[in-house]
Amino acid sequence: MKDLKGREYVFLIIITLFYAALAFWNLGSHHIPSTGWEREERGGEIFLDLGEDCQVAGIAWFLGNYENREFELSWKAQEGNWIQAGKVAMENVYQWGQAQIRPSLTARYLRLSSLNQYVDLRELAVLDEQGGCLEVQNKEDYPELFDEWELYEEKGNGHFQAAVFDESVFARTAWEYLNGIRSYEDTHPPLGKLLISLGIWIFGMNPFGWRAVPALTGALMLPALYLALRFLTGKAGIAAGGTLLLAFDFLHFTVTRLAAVDGMLVLAILISHSMMYQYGRYVRQKAPWAKKGAALAVSGLFMGVGIGCKWSGCYSAAGLCILFFWMFGEGCIKGWISKKEGIRTILLCCAAFLLVPAALYICSYIPYVSMDPDAGFLEGMITNQKNMYLYHATYNYDHHSASMWFQWPLTIKPVTVVYGSRDGMIEVMKAMGNPVVWWAGTAAVFWG
C-alpha cells in the first residue's frame, strides 16, 4: 500500500463512493408485509365476509417463508350453499402473487382451506373486476392478515418490493439462520448466507436488508480490483482503467444488487489473488519476511472466505497454489529466499491455506447443523457435502434463460432476472455484461 501515490487514494475513494451511491440508491424497499396468518397444521381455514354479494375476480397474496402452498377456495352468495371454486396455488416466497377467477364470482363469503403444513401467509386481498381491493368486513378476525393492504396498492411486479430470481432462496435461508429455523437452501456452503443475514439483522427482512451486504461487496470490488491490477502490472493507469470498466459493467452492477453469494465469491477471489501478487512483489524486492507472511496470511484467509461462500472458490485456490509455487520457487532458485525463510513460509502456508480456511468452513456450519437436533455436527456437515455434490452433478440446467458457456462472454443470451408488467408498464432486468466492455474484452484476450 505504501507504493500507492496520493492521487491513487483520491481516485479510489471517489470511484468507490460514487459506485456505492448508485448501488444503494433504490436498492429495495425497507417495508414489506411482515406479519400474517401462520399455521403448522394442515387444514386451517380463513373465512371472509365481504358484507354483501360482490363480483370477485381474483385473490392476491404475499407469501412468507414457505413456497408452493395450496388452498382450496370455496364461495357462497348471501343466499346459497358453499361451492368449490378450485385450488389456489401460491408459489413464490416474499413476493406478491395473484390468481384470477374467470368467470368472476358473485359472492359474499369466501373460504380458503390450507392443504399444506407450515403456512406463512403475510397478506391477503380480494380483488374486484378492476383489480381493486374489496373491503373485508370481518378483517378484525385476522388482524395480521389485512393490516398492510396499502403495500399491495403500491406494489409492482418488479424487484423493489419483492424477492426476485435466486433471492427467494438465499434471502430466505439467511433469515432462517437468524431465526434458528432449519434452512431451505443447502446447495452451497453456509458462509455466503450468513453474510447476507448481517444485512437482514441490521435493516430487517426486506429487500434493502437482504441486498445490503451484496451491494457493499460490489462497491468493495472496485478497490480490490485496483490493487490486484496495480500489484500485477505496477501501472496506475492500467489499474484505474480496469477499475472504471468494472464500475460501469452491467453484470457486476445487477448481480451485486441482488441477494446472491456470487459477488462475495468474486470479492474474496480478488483480494486473495491481489495479496498473492503482492507476495510475489515482496519476494522480488527482498522485503522483510513479516511483509511476505502478512500477504500470504490475508490471501489464505480470503481464499477460505471464497470457498465458504461457493465451491467455485476451489478453482481460484488452484490458481493461488500455482502462483505461490511459481513465485516461491523463483525466490528459492535465485537466492532471494533463504532455507530458514523457506521453512517458515511453508509452515505459514499450511496454516494460512489449509488450517484457517478449514476452520472457517467448519465454523460456518454451526448455525446450519444446530437447526437439526437429530444429526451430530460432523454427520450433518459431511452429509451436506455429499448432497451439494450430488445436486450439482445431477442438476439439469435446461431452463428458459439457460445459455451455453460461449454465449456468456458474447452476451448472446443474458439471464432474465425480472420480467413483469402492470398498468401498461413493463419492467425487465437481465444479467448481462456491458457489450462494449465484453466484446472488446473478448477480442483483447485473443490479442493478448
Please check the confidence at residue 380 and state whether its pLDDT lies above 70.
yes
Distances (CA, A) of 358 to 71, 191, 226, 380: 45, 12, 28, 16
pLDDT-based confidence at 158, cuts 50/70/90?
A: low
Mean pLDDT of 270-291: 91
Q: What is the mean pLDDT of the chain?
A: 87
Query: What band does 16 get if pLDDT is binned at 50, 70 and 90?
Result: very high
pLDDT given at position 359: 94
Q: Residue 280 above 80 pLDDT?
A: yes
Mean pLDDT over 270-290 rounds to 91
Average pLDDT over residues 104-114: 87
**Between 28 and 369, whose confidence is greater?**
28
pLDDT number for residue 267: 95
Report which residue type is found at 375: A
Task: Give the pLDDT confidence score for residue 429 in this predicted structure.
Answer: 83
Q: Is the pLDDT confidence value at 427 over 90?
A: no
pLDDT of residue 224: 93
Residue 209 reports pLDDT greater than 80: yes
Whole-number pLDDT of residue 423? 64
- DSSP label of 181: P
Model confidence at 394, in pLDDT bands (50, 70, 90)? confident
Give the lowest-confidence range in 9-23, 34-48, 260-274, 391-405. Answer: 391-405
Q: CB 158: neighbour CB atoms within 10 A?
A: 19
DSSP 136: P
| Confidence label for 155 from pLDDT (cuts 50, 70 and 90) | low
Tens-digit pLDDT profile for residues 233-275: 888 899 999 999 999 999 999 999 999 999 999 999 999 999 9
Longest dimension (CA), the chain: 97
Question: In this model, does residue 208 exceed pLDDT 70?
Answer: yes
Task: Give me the mean pLDDT over the 154-179 stretch.
Answer: 80
**Residue 372's pLDDT band (boundaries 50, 70, 90)?**
low
Confidence label for 377 from pLDDT (cuts 50, 70 and 90): confident
Q: Would you say 83 and 75 are in contact if contact means Cβ atoms under 8 Å apart?
A: yes
Q: Is the pLDDT of residue 141 over 90?
A: no
Question: Once rounded to an integer, what is the mean pLDDT over residues 174-190?
Answer: 84
Residue 255, helix vs strand vs coil:
helix
156 pLDDT tier (thresholds 50, 70, 90): low
Q: Is 355's pLDDT higher than 90?
A: yes
Burial of 69 (0-12, 13-18, 19+ CB in 10 A): buried
Instruction: Of 38, 72, 54, 39, give the one whose Cα is nearest residue 126.
Output: 54
In 91-245, beta strands by DSSP E = 96-114, 119-127
- For residue 431, the SS3 value is strand
215 burial type by CB count under 10 A (0-12 exposed, 13-18 middle, 19+ buried): buried
User: Distance between CA atoms of 39 and 122, rounded to whole angstroms?
Assistant: 12
Say yes or no to pLDDT of 157 above 60: no
Q: In the prediction, which pLDDT does 65 show? A: 84
Strand, coil or helix: what is 328?
Answer: helix
Q: How confident is the model at residue 67 (pLDDT cuts 50, 70, 90)?
A: confident
- Report pLDDT digits (tens) over 314-350: 999 999 999 999 999 999 998 898 889 899 999 999 9
Q: How confident is the model at residue 154 (pLDDT cuts 50, 70, 90)?
A: low
- Please name which of 166, 168, 175, 219 lies closest in space to residue 200, comparing C-alpha atoms: 175
CB 309 within 8 A of CB 261: yes
| The three grid cell numbers given for residue 393, joined into one nine-digit string | 452433478
Task: Identify the DSSP state of 353.
Answer: I
What's the mean pLDDT in 16-30?
92
Cβ atoms 273, 320 nearer than 8 A: yes
